[in-house]
Amino acid sequence: MEASVEQLVYVREDEYTVARMSADGLPAFVAAGRALAAVQPGETLRLTGEWEEHARHGSRFKVSACERIMPATVRAIQLYLGSGLIRGIGPRLAQAIVSQFGEESLKIIDTEPARLREVINIGPVRQNQIVEAWQEQKAVAALMVTLQGFGVSPLLAAKVYQAFGAESEHVLVEDPYRLIGAVRGIAFATADRIALRSGVPENSPQRLKAALVDRLEGAASGGGHCFLSPTALVTQTVELLEQDEEPIRQQLDALRAEQRVVVEADAVFLKELHGREVKLTAELTRLVRARSTLRLRLFDDDPSLHEDQQAAVNMALTSTLSILTGGPGCGKSHTVKVIASTVRSMGGRVTLCAPTGKAAKRLSELTGLPAMTVHRMLGIEPDPEALFDQVPSQADLIVIDEASMLDLHLATRLCSAVPSGSHVLLVGDSDQLPSIGPGSVLADLLQVEEIPRVRLTHIFRQASGSAIVRAAHDIRAGAMPQLPGGGGFWFEEIDDPAQVASRVVELATVGIPRKQGVSPDQVQVLCPMRKGLAGTAELGRMLQERLNPPGADRPEHWAGSSVFRVGDRVMPIRNNYDKGVFNGETGVVTALSPEERTVELVVDEQSVTYGFDELDDLTQAYAISVHRSQGSEYPFVVAPVVVEAGGIMLRRRLLYTLVTRAKAWVVLVGQRKALELAVSRLGQRRNTTLARRLTAALGG
């Protein structure tokens, strides 16, 4: 049958799609199946399948094949044009175009676009916008067919076109490995499927090289590693390709000759990551050896400080690079406040910063002093209010809080901007998770004896009464916290992951808000894993349905398996320097325009616009990973703890980081065995050579 898509109801991560459809001569009906992947409201489809009676959802059409066709009836054409598929045309303009041209509307847009100006409210600018969007839509539709022929998701078509434009078809057929890195969502496996179906030999040099680079990039993005040993790299590539070892070793040598990788001793680096490590080593060496420009006077003993805090103050005043670390309740923020106030009393200039906007805001609240993001300090992020003028070149002391979040890229950029003689104090909890990006900067620097450091260990009385602080220190020491807990820390034991997920949703949306007299916005769900019944994807969907369900008066847009609505809690997952938003910040969707194909949100008190083709840069933030919660604190935290998918993410640092994100209450729901597993397991150390390089440089 031929039918038009009225609305998407549900899209699963495996692309199984449920949609409401309309067809001439039939009442509205529901169609479902993976063959509907990437369809959008307004499209007309030729469907093949059979009717079935679903036990829960009733009668629906089970789709086995789907072909996109141009709408033919006036109603279908108006639905197509008004759906937002063609940028610049909304429902009203669609009605005006169809009223003017009827069944000839699409033909006129395609072959006689100048006639569009016969329609009221269409001038030269709008006409060009519509024609450009029409041509793009046609190209993307053609790419969908090509990708489906390769057995690849048609959802990737728009991204391929965005990256390569008119060259897209050529790249797909002639050089599909170019897609890797250029198109989000296309890694080696997808490009390789296209290449093999295009006739690329299994042992071709380009295939073996692409696989080697993929293993190195995967180690960096998935594990934070800066290098792999040659043996591990070759072994992983052999397993990936099921090819002999010797040709792969030969192509590794070829990559080295082409200077795409760097081989040092027993380590193979991507060229960029090797360059970053070398650069960061040089910059840190410069900072350590520099002669201080800070005019010092003796620091008077402060009776409010513990002796280790006193030592930290003296260290920061006398060392051009130093580290202050310690767990919750040990007074890091108060120590930073004393250090900053002391430098200012000497006439010095101080800059306080942190990797994320939330972390900077929290630092400002705790110290009573202005703070900014590292990106803003470096001039990467625009500062329209110009609140700060202590840029690195002007500051005598720079304090970087939440330094465990610094990855190799940001740390290198930061240190390169600091002038010799300025003091840099890194503040962080070395027992928390490392950065999302590659490297383990804070942990590496703590291995270098030549860099002064103070670890605060004394827990102050006002903090010692907190069950969260007590549980965190137990976990850090490898001991099980007191269960079920109380006074801020609580464990609710449930074995079944599905029941765990339901209970987490109930607590986050009803239980805690009702008992504590707060809004659900004050409760954050954190998850050790993304997949599974109690992962961020499924819990996020359940929470969105409960807190921000679909409505007839609420426009929405599906991007893959995520649907965006006004009021959604969202989070950027990639830095965007042009927009001034950064990975890990949270925002709220304030407007959604199908006609302009844009989503507006407020992030860190600033309004930002994303195009529909940029929504891969956003994720729903109803449930987020523990990694993405770093640098943030929430009044109330609820988290599932289950051994799903082998519990591969359950590690002591992850659990410790999770618990320390809560200010008032943290509630863990799940299996005792999962909690015990997390407490007992130490995480894998990242492959880096920064500590060794820096030790050699400073020792020399």
- Burial label, 602 (beta-carbon count in 10 A; 0-12, 13-18, 19+): middle
Within-domain flag for 40 = yes
Are residues 621 and 555 part of one domain? Answer: yes
Here the tokens at position 552 are 């007839």
pLDDT digit string, tens, across residues 275-287: 999 999 999 999 9
Q: Are residues 179 and 32 in the same domain?
A: no
> Are residues 568 and 588 in contact, defined by beta-carbon separation less than 8 angstroms?
yes
Structure confidence at residue 381 (pLDDT)? 53
Give the pLDDT of residue 392. Answer: 60
84 is in an annotated binding site: no
- Residue 578's pLDDT is 82
On whether both 205 and 331 belong to a single domain, the answer is no
Range of lowest pLDDT (424-433, 455-464, 567-576, 606-615) = 455-464
Bridge partners, 21 (sequence order): 5, 29
pLDDT, tens digit (0-9, with 9 covering 90-100), for 45-88? 999 999 999 888 889 999 999 999 998 889 899 988 988 888 88
User: Domain ends where: 394, 427, 460?
Assistant: 460
Instruction: Give the CATH number of the domain where residue 43 resides.
Output: 2.40.50.140
Dist CA 184 CA 161 (whole Å): 12
Q: How does pLDDT run across 202-228, given as a tens digit for each residue?
A: 999 999 999 999 999 999 988 999 999
Which secondary-structure segment (H or E) carries 274? helix 271-289
pLDDT, one tens digit per residue, over 396-415 is: 999 999 999 999 999 999 99
Q: Which of 48, 69, 90 is the last residue of a domain?
A: 69
Query: Position of tokens 């909304």?
Result: 90
User: What percentage of the chain exceeds 90 in pLDDT?
Assistant: 68
- The pLDDT of residue 386: 38
- For residues 25-51, average pLDDT: 93
**According to the annotation, is 428 in a ligand binding site?**
no
Q: Does any domain span residue 115?
A: no
End of a domain among 18, 43, 69? 69
Q: What is the mean pLDDT of residues 234-252?
A: 95
Query: In this structure, is residue 273 part of a structural domain?
Result: no
Q: How many CB atoms lie within 10 A of CB 450?
A: 14
Is the pLDDT assigned to residue 619 strictly greater than 50? yes
Q: Which residues on adjacent β-strands are paired with residue 609?
A: 600
pLDDT value at 384 more than 50: no
Domain count, the chain: 4
Find where tokens 């007309």 sit: 44
Q: What is the mean pLDDT of residues 351-374?
A: 87
Q: How confident is the model at residue 298 (pLDDT cuts 50, 70, 90)?
A: low
Both tokens assigned to 335 = 């120590």
Name the nearest CA neighbour of 58 among 27, 85, 87, 91. Answer: 27
Do 439 and 291 fall into the same domain?
Answer: yes
pLDDT tens-digit series, residues 558-609 = 998 999 999 999 998 887 878 878 777 889 999 999 888 899 999 878 899 9
- Catalogue the E-assigned strands of 434-522: 453-456, 489-493
> In terms of domains, do 317 and 262 share one?
no
pLDDT of residue 43: 92
Residue 695 forms part of a structural domain: no
Give the per-residue pLDDT at 14: 87
Question: For residue 385, what pLDDT is reported?
Answer: 41
Distances (CA, A) of 514 to 236, 467, 510, 517: 51, 21, 6, 5
| One domain for residues 236 and 299 | no
Residue 700 labelled as part of a binding site: no
Which helix (DSSP H) or strand (DSSP E) does residue 46 occupy? strand 44-54
pLDDT above 90 (res 316)? yes
Q: How far is the C-alpha of 527 from the C-alpha of 539, rounded, in Å?
A: 9
Whether 86 is covered by a domain: the verdict is no
- Taking alpha carbons only, the member of 423, 408, 453 closest to residue 281 is 408
Q: According to the model, what pLDDT value does residue 173 have?
A: 87
Co-location of 475 and 434 in the same domain: no
Q: Are residues 316 and 250 in the same domain?
A: no
Tell me: is residue 138 an annotated ligand-binding position: no
Q: What is the pLDDT of residue 185?
A: 81
- Hey, which residues does 618 pair with through a beta bridge? 572
pLDDT, tens digit, 9 for 90 and up, residues 82-140:
888 888 888 889 999 999 999 999 999 999 999 999 998 899 999 999 999 999 988 99
Whether residue 388 is predicted with pLDDT greater than 80 in this model: the reply is no
Question: What pLDDT sits at residue 646?
Answer: 61
pLDDT tens column, 155-207 = 889 889 989 998 999 999 888 999 998 888 888 999 999 999 988 999 999 99
What CATH number is attached to the domain comprising 311? Answer: 3.40.50.300
Please say if the pLDDT value at position 241 is more than 70: yes
Task: Report if residue 397 sits inside a domain.
Answer: yes
pLDDT of residue 682: 87
- Residues 258 and 335 both lie in one domain: no
Q: Domain containing 247 — which CATH number? A: 1.10.10.2220
In a domain, 582, yes or no: yes
Task: Assess whether 443 and 508 both reside in one domain.
Answer: no
The pLDDT confidence band at residue 455, using thresholds 50, 70 and 90, is very high
- What percent of the chain stands above pLDDT 70? 96
The model's confidence at residue 375, banded by pLDDT at 50, 70 and 90, is: confident
Domain that holds residue 355: 279-460
Residue 438 lies in a domain: yes
pLDDT value at residue 297:
61
Residue-averaged pLDDT of the chain: 91
> pTM score, two decimals?
0.89
Q: What's the CA gap between 176 and 185, in Å, rounded?
A: 14
For residue 342, pLDDT over 80 is answered with yes
Residue 330 annotated as binding site: yes
Residues 490 and 426 in one domain: no
Q: Are residues 442 and 515 in the same domain?
A: no
